[in-house]
Amino acid sequence: MNGPEGGIEPWLVELRAKAPSRLELDTDVILVTTLWDLGTTGVTEIDGRLVAGFADRGQAQTAVGQLRSPVLDVTARPVTGSDTEPPATPPSPPTTVRFAVGETVRSISVVAGPTFGHGHHPTTRLALDLLGSALNRASDGRLLSDLRVLDVGTGSGVLAVAAARAGAGSVVAVDVDAACESVVATNAWNNGVEVEVMTGIIEAAIDSPVETPLDQPFDIVVANLLLVDQIAVADTVRRLLAPDAHLVLSGCLIDQADHLLRLHPGLDAERSLTSEDWIAHLLTGCR
Ligand SMILES: C[S@@+](CC[C@H](N)C(=O)[O-])C[C@H]1O[C@@H](n2cnc3c(N)ncnc32)[C@H](O)[C@@H]1O
């Protein structure tokens, strides 16, 4: 079908569980993976429904035929003015990533494409665990929606999207790799959250002559970077911390733990976690 400009009109396929208590659509990896296999341009969860974008009516109708099941209501319709079109997405299946903030366990779906960050690498897992702790501590006496979070070296945006999904009000993601911009946008869209993405090395981005989201300090900064990169960004990261901010550092080997801590002598080590050969720290305090 042709759209208003004479081009192909995108369509949406909507899936609703007939018995919602028995099927959690947004964490159903098989369902989400099937949608990707069928060629979706992006999947998100809206009010208990899974909504998947398709390039045209034909693909959407094929998907409806494949997905028809006794436990699902599946419908297709053209994108309307009130729908936001999903951004183009690298063709790799998503992974489901779970994380906890206090007692609340959440999940997000992540595509990594050409970037680092499918969510299950030990350094990412450690960073997610400590990001959950940081969000929990920072929201003690404050609203999550008042918190500003920065993800340095965002890759797929897995940590940034997790912070936004947890309810952080403002999330900024920076990576030197330009490929991250569309991948992070896709992952944010798929999870129904907003993340502001910047391309460039953080050390240069902070001194931009024009106004940027880095002009205001952050309550939480997370950086999953190799030690060599942690050394390069340490001074910049400290300049970005609000008073009493939380800093999550991951990406370093256990035998580099002390070196990593020495990069931030003014901050207190609150919690450290290890997994396989990797270590991550949660630091707190003034810059
Ligand atoms: C190990 S990956 C982490 C990806 C993701 N945050 C995660 O936890 O899975 C590190 C990322 O940091 C980026 N990076 C390294 N040094 C950087 C710098 N100085 N400024 C911005 N990005 C940087 C790399 O391009 C890479 O995407």
* Residue 81: per-residue pLDDT: 66
* Residue 70: per-residue pLDDT: 74
User: Does residue 122 sit in the same domain as residue 150?
Assistant: yes
Ligand 1 contact, 181 CB (< 6 A): no
Assigned domain for 43 exists: yes
Distance CA 158, CA 167 (A): 14
Residue listed under structure tokens 């964490």: 27
Cβ atoms of 51 and 43 within 8 Å: the answer is yes
Which CATH number covers residue 34?
Answer: 3.30.70.330
pTM (2 decimals)? 0.73
Ligand 1 contact, 179 CB (< 6 A): no
* Residue 54: per-residue pLDDT: 87
Ligand 1 contact, 153 CB (< 6 A): yes
User: Does residue 245 sit in the same domain as residue 196?
Assistant: yes
User: Does residue 38 sit in the same domain as residue 102?
Assistant: no
Ligand 1 contact, 249 CB (< 6 A): no
Residue 98: partners with Cβ closer than 8 Å, 6 or more residues away: 105, 106, 107
pLDDT tens-digit readout, 52-97: 888 888 889 888 888 877 778 889 998 876 665 555 444 567 899 9
Ligand 1 contact, 43 CB (< 6 A): no
Beta bridge partner(s), residue 267: none
Q: Which atom of ligand 1 is nearest to the CA of 180?
A: 27
Determine the distance separating the centroid of ligand 1 and the alpha carbon of 24, expressed in angstroms: 32
Determine the distance separating the centroid of ligand 1 and the alpha carbon of 193, expressed in angstroms: 21
* Residue 7: per-residue pLDDT: 53
pLDDT tens-digit readout, 231-281: 999 999 999 999 999 999 999 999 999 999 999 999 999 999 999 999 999
Domain count, the chain: 2
From residue 259, alpha-carbon distances to 65, 226, 246, 281 in Å are 57, 12, 19, 12
Ligand 1 contact, 225 CB (< 6 A): yes
Assigned domain for 30 exists: yes
Which CATH number covers residue 127?
Answer: 3.40.50.150
Mean pLDDT of 97-117: 91
User: How crowded is the C-beta side of 137, counted as CA atoms within 13 Å?
Assistant: 19
From residue 97, alpha-carbon distances to 26, 36, 108, 156, 245 in Å are 11, 17, 5, 12, 25
Ligand 1 contact, 26 CB (< 6 A): no
Name the range with the highest mean pLDDT among 15-19, 63-67, 144-148. Answer: 144-148
Distance CA 156, CA 201 (A): 16
Residue nearest to atom 16 of ligand 1 (CA): 229
Q: Is 6 a residue whose pLDDT tops 50? A: no
Assigned domain for 134 exists: yes
User: Does residue 116 sit in the same domain as residue 213?
Assistant: yes
User: Does residue 280 sit in the same domain as residue 150?
Assistant: yes
Distance CA 176, CA 179 (A): 9
User: How crowded is the C-beta side of 286, counted as CA atoms within 13 Å?
Assistant: 0
Assigned domain for 4 exists: no
Ligand 1 contact, 175 CB (< 6 A): yes
From residue 173, alpha-carbon distances to 169, 196, 213 in Å are 13, 6, 10
Determine the distance separating the centroid of ligand 1 and the alpha carbon of 154, expressed in angstroms: 5
Ligand 1 contact, 113 CB (< 6 A): no
Determine the distance separating the centroid of ligand 1 and the alpha carbon of 120, expressed in angstroms: 15
User: Does residue 48 sit in the same domain as residue 140?
Assistant: no
Q: Which residue range(s) make up the domain with 141?
A: 95-285
User: Does residue 74 sit in the same domain as residue 162?
Assistant: no
User: Does residue 257 sit in the same domain as residue 214?
Assistant: yes
pLDDT tens-digit readout, 174-220: 999 998 998 999 899 989 999 999 999 999 999 888 999 999 999 99
User: Does residue 36 sit in the same domain as residue 137?
Assistant: no
Domain stop point among 53, 78, 103: 78
Q: Which atom of ligand 1 is nearest to the CA of 153?
A: 12
Assigned domain for 1 exists: no
Determine the distance separating the centroid of ligand 1 and the alpha carbon of 224, expressed in angstroms: 6
Assigned domain for 2 exists: no
User: Does residue 134 sit in the same domain as residue 191?
Assistant: yes
Cβ atoms of 153 and 224 within 8 Å: the answer is yes
User: Does residue 204 sit in the same domain as residue 178?
Assistant: yes
* Residue 11: per-residue pLDDT: 87
* Residue 5: per-residue pLDDT: 43
